[in-house]
Amino acid sequence: MAFTLSKNALHSALSRVMSCVVAISTVASMPFAYADVELNGQKEALSSQEQVNVALNGKFTQGALLRGQAPAGAKVTLNGETVQTNKDGKFVVGFEREAPLQQTLVVKLENGQKWQRDITLEKREYNIQRIDGLEQKMVSPPAEVTARIKQDNINVANARSGNTDLDALFTRFEWPAKGVISGVYGSQRILNGVPKWPHYGLDIANETGTPVYAPVDGVVTMADDLYYSGNTLILDHGMRVFSTFLHMDTITVEVGETVKQGEQIGTIGSTGRSTGPHLDWRINLGNTRLDPQTIISGSPEQ
């Protein structure tokens, strides 16, 4: 039995859901269908051909991290850029805060066959947050700390430069701490009246000393005190995906140490440029800054 889905119906389905799965069929001229469930169209027509499915899971929105599965050995590109795949065909893609709404995913098999699909992301609106009362040196740092800040940035870049074959990120992420969400990804902060870069983390507020846990397995690549972010911890989850935890009071793990999901890695604090105890959790895919809330469900209050 053949199954088809009109273009209008597809766009209607996308507008109703935040999470979806993309499926690709191996009919050379047929675009793959996508909606809130995986669709395997024209199965009978494929009886004499090899059938291939590609899944892409997550929230199709700006700032999202999506996790995918392609046939082993397939080449995946997003907007013409090569996407890393592991030996099993797993891959991840991410979209910046202001990523273009139209994205093109291409999968090419080892036999040369190629399929392409245009994906539409949901456009997001971001909050503007004003924070007053900060010390002026934390808004516009004095010249004598410029060298330190520059070195901090270099060290963070180095800590996020690895490309390990860990695949922990394909498991379900857990909240790294309990508390109340006090700041969200994408919001722009105005500090003492001066507009600053958008906020690229998710803030979880709670008392100083509240335990912080690894949201998923990882390897510690940074555990250091930085000018802006205070006690800062970075975990490598594999395939260029990193978690960064800012403003911690204590860090209880060391660089090079492997941690398991749910293992305590430190405590919530208010170090660095901070107005109160909270955990600022960030997710990066290489240099692409992503929203942790696109890969986790529920709330940290649970």
Q: Give the residue from 101, 120, 139 where a domain finishes.
A: 120
Spatial distance between the Cα atoms of 171 and 57, rounded to a whole number of angstroms: 12
Report residue 242 as tokens.
């990193």
Give the per-residue pLDDT at 34.
31
Query: How far is the C-alpha of 214 from the C-alpha of 157, rounded, in Å?
Result: 21
Q: Answer yes or no: is 1 within a domain.
A: no
CATH number of residue 177's parent domain: 2.70.70.10
pLDDT value of residue 68: 92
What integer pLDDT is reported at residue 247 of this predicted model? 98
Instruction: Indicate whether 276 and 166 sit together in one domain.
Output: yes
pLDDT at position 51: 54
Residues 21 and 149 both lie in one domain: no
Residue 19, domain extent: 7-120
Same domain, 147 and 264: yes
Number of domains in the chain: 2
The secondary structure element, H or E, covering residue 149 is helix 146-159
Q: Does 2 map to a domain?
A: no
Mean pLDDT of each 10-residue bin along the chain, 302 residues long: 38 39 34 30 32 82 95 95 94 96 94 87 89 70 88 97 88 96 90 83 97 98 97 97 98 98 98 95 97 94 74
DSSP, residue by residue, 215-261: SS-EEEEEEEEETTTEEEEEEEEETTEEEEEEEESEE-S-TT-EE-T
pLDDT of residue 15: 40
Of the candidates 60, 89, 120, which is a domain's last residue?
120
Residues 169 and 218: their CA atoms lie apart, in Å, by: 9
Q: What is the pTM of this model?
A: 0.80
Q: Cα 55 vs. chain centroid, distance in angstroms? A: 17
H/E element, 195: strand 194-198
Of 61, 88, 120, the residue at which a domain comes to its end is 120
Residue 98 and residue 165 share a domain: no
Burial degree of 150 (CB within 10 A; 0-12, 13-18, 19+): exposed
CA distance 125 to 206: 26
* pLDDT of the residue at 130: 78
The answer as to whether 300 is a domain residue is no
Rounded CA-CA distance 248/208 in Å is 9
